[in-house]
Amino acid sequence: MRDHFEIRDHDAAGRIGRLEVPRADVTVETPALLPVVNPNVLTIEPSRLEAEFGAEMLITNSYIIRSTDRIRDRVVDEGLHDFLGFDGAIMTDSGSFQLAEYGDIDVTTEEIIEFQRQIGSDVATPVDVPTPPDADRERAERELATTQRALADAESAETGEMLVNAPVQGSTYADLREEAGRHAAGTDLDVFPVGAMVPLLNSYRYADTVEAVRAAKRGLGPGAPVHLFGAGHPMMLALAVAAGCDLFDSAAYALMARDGRYLTVSGTEHLEDLDYFPCSCPVCAEHTPADLRALDGASGDGDEGDGDEGDGDGGNGDDGPTAERLLAEHNLHVTFEELRRVKEAIRSGTLLELVDRRARGHPAMLDGYRALLDHADELGRTDPGSKDAFFYTSHESARRPEVERHRDRLARLATPERLLLTESKAPSSHDYDAVWRVKPPFGPYPPALAETYPLTAEVPERTDDAAQVAAAESVVALAAANPETALTLGHDAWCELALDRLPDRVETENLRTLG
């Protein structure tokens, strides 16, 4: 683990950590949201981001500062913290987003790293190449090589106490993302953004986002602080944290507000379509949708994309509240609220249950959750072995790492010659050597484990097919580990899909038929 990043709590691949930022002399608790601040126009003043919203860190664009004559000299003279009026940590981008958008920029990594150091940035970024999703492999490999040369240039730069990002690129090729993560982890750089995510996020391709993050994480290893570039919609924060991300930067709060869009944990609403605000933040408690529509600057245009990176302007609020400014404030409130909810879920061991709830809000989120569970074995390496409770809330719960972990542990348990596995209580008289309970989705377990996690799980009385299939897989595992044991399964009318999983030597009894 890098000595500037300490992990305190785990749940799935999510964690609460402490990122030391020595140049700012602050320690940022992660997961952390970095609001994007446009150096040209401040939609919400950075001092308010800190005092009213609890932002410990923000991100701004050093390339825009360097390219804008009217502010460059002032920022060089005053320093970035005084210019923005922000006491927390400040990360700066390098112009890579502009490179992706416009195809060319007139700065090298050496020049922009030195400029970021000169203006007082706390975390700098080299000029990497954000290869878009679905690019051809030859392009992805070529641009990844260019990014890796930029990381070498950043390593050789004089940075003092300034931390430096090592972006992980590779487009939508999992092997390239993993290779890029491994290469970045081998450098002396400090923070590891997964880059070129905005096109995926704007298209709600959350499953592809999860795959890119998990591939990068495999290369980076468990101790690296991971930043998901361009991610800040509250709907997907729980999913991204559960996948292993620690930092997020968002311009969505301002960009969506400019188009009259209102963020929620279930998606995005248009101000023009709302009769009520489903929120109790200060903006929503004091205003109605009609109030905001009556203010100058309200807009209902735009598409449904996240738009998390960018350099557009917004209202600065100098002349009183506008609809845009108030929407931006709400969007920030709901995003920071969700991040606090995510942290509490990590502490209480309920992060995947929160992800499950969020997955019910949008089909693309469900795709992302299912993609995450494809990596249950990886999640299980950091998922705590014991928590307060496990709630089975959907058939996706049958694929959680706790279920797989229980199945793996069955091989360690000693079994007698004749063993009854049953969903019911032990019969009053029997000639078995022992009776174990069966609890879908986990499967069989001896009585001594009945009060241990996760077998204390709360599950519905009407088990679904997925839970029964998962339990059957555990019976299969127990049978494979104990070929000399005669097994009988008493099941509560399991589906054919589950029963077909069982080996022929496992006898079955339908408890409903037995009465």
For 95, list phi and psi in degrees, rounded to 5: 110, 0
In contact, 76 and 116? CB cutoff 8 Å: no
Catalytic residue among 11, 93, 208, 356: 93
For 274, list phi and psi in degrees, rounded to 5: -95, 135
Omega of the bond leading into 441 within 30 degrees of 0 (cis): yes
CA dist 372 to 32, 241, 366, 400, 413, Å? 21, 11, 10, 9, 29
The pair of three-digit structure tokens given for residue 151, joined into one six-digit string:
């990381």
The pair of three-digit structure tokens given for residue 339, joined into one six-digit string:
């991040």
Residue 269: CB atoms within 10 A of its CB come to 17
Decide if 318 is catalytic: no
As a whole number of angstroms, the distance between CA 36 and CA 46 comes to 10
H, E, C per residue of 93-128: ECCHHHHHHHCCCCCCHHHHHHHHHHHCCCEECCCC
| Three-state DSSP state, 209 | helix
What does the radius of gyration of the chain's CA atoms come to, in whole angstroms?
26
Omega of the bond leading into 401 within 30 degrees of 0 (cis): no
Reported for 95-98, long-range contacts at CB under 8 A and 24+ positions apart, including other chains, are 95/61, 95/62, 95/63, 95/64, 95/127, 96/125, 96/127, 96/128, 96/129, 96/130, 96/167, 96/195, 97/61, 97/130, 97/198, 97/309, 97/310, 97/311, 98/63, 98/64, 98/311
Bridge partners, 371 (sequence order): none
| Three-state DSSP state, 13 | coil
Provide CB contacts within 8 A for 185, sequence distance 6+.
192, 219, 220, 221, 224
Known catalytic residues? 93
